[in-house]
Amino acid sequence: MEQLFEKTRERMDKCIVSINNDFATIRAGRANPAVLNKVNVDYYGVPTQINQMAQVSVSEATNLIITPWDITTLKAIEHAINESDIGINPQNDGKCIRLIFPKLTEERRKEISKDISKRGEEAKIAVRAVRHDSMDALKKMKKNSEITEDDFDDGEEEIQDITDEYIKKCDQIVKDKKEEIMSV
């Protein structure tokens, strides 16, 4: 039964990692290299992440500078950024690309905040799906007489406690990200 609890925690940890990665790509009015994580450049026919082919640095709070190691890829990087959904126009000076993050309007912050809430709810749904799978595994163990009725009750309680812990983590991550968005 301990293996079941451990597996439940591992799968719920993946939900937390996923929401953290997802939130890292949300533009908050500050320069954040993570917004480029989902942008792939066609590099000799291979989709390649920008951070694998260029140095990405923050020069000021609102400026991101992309300096490619191979200067011939500058146009391809610029094209990939234009085609992406990050909503920032790259400025190419022939040596590097600058991304200037505009300040967010109050209306845009509220939109992003709603999106964060929605994504947070999706993460909680994923955590609950893990709980459901774990409960099914526990019921199967009881049906196969691998555990007693008391063990089953204790197991259900433990799985619910683990679920509650991870739901609280999701709520805290959402709360922190919303504060970051609204305080910029």
pLDDT at 31 over 80: no
Which of 6-20, 28-42, 52-66 has the highest mean predicted lDDT (pLDDT)?
6-20
E-assigned strand segments in the chain:
40-43, 46-49, 54-60, 63-68, 91-92, 97-100
| The domain defined by 2-24+105-183 carries CATH number 3.40.50.920 | no
**Average confidence score pLDDT of the chain:** 88
CA dist 126 to 10, 15, 59, 118, 164, Å? 13, 7, 37, 13, 13
pLDDT at 27: 66
- Which residue ranges make up each domain of the chain? 2-24+105-183, 33-100
Angle formed by the axes of helices 2-24 and 106-143, to 10°?
160
d(CA 119, CA 121): 5
pLDDT digits (tens, 9 = 90+) for 104-145: 788 888 888 999 999 999 999 999 999 999 999 999 999 998
| Identical topology for domains 2-24+105-183 and 33-100 | no
pLDDT band per the 50, 70, 90 thresholds, residue 170: very high
Mean pLDDT of 11-35: 83
Predicted local confidence at residue 23, as pLDDT: 84
pLDDT for residue 99 is more than 60? yes
Q: Thinking of the domain 33-100, which architecture would CATH place it in?
A: 2-Layer Sandwich (3.30)
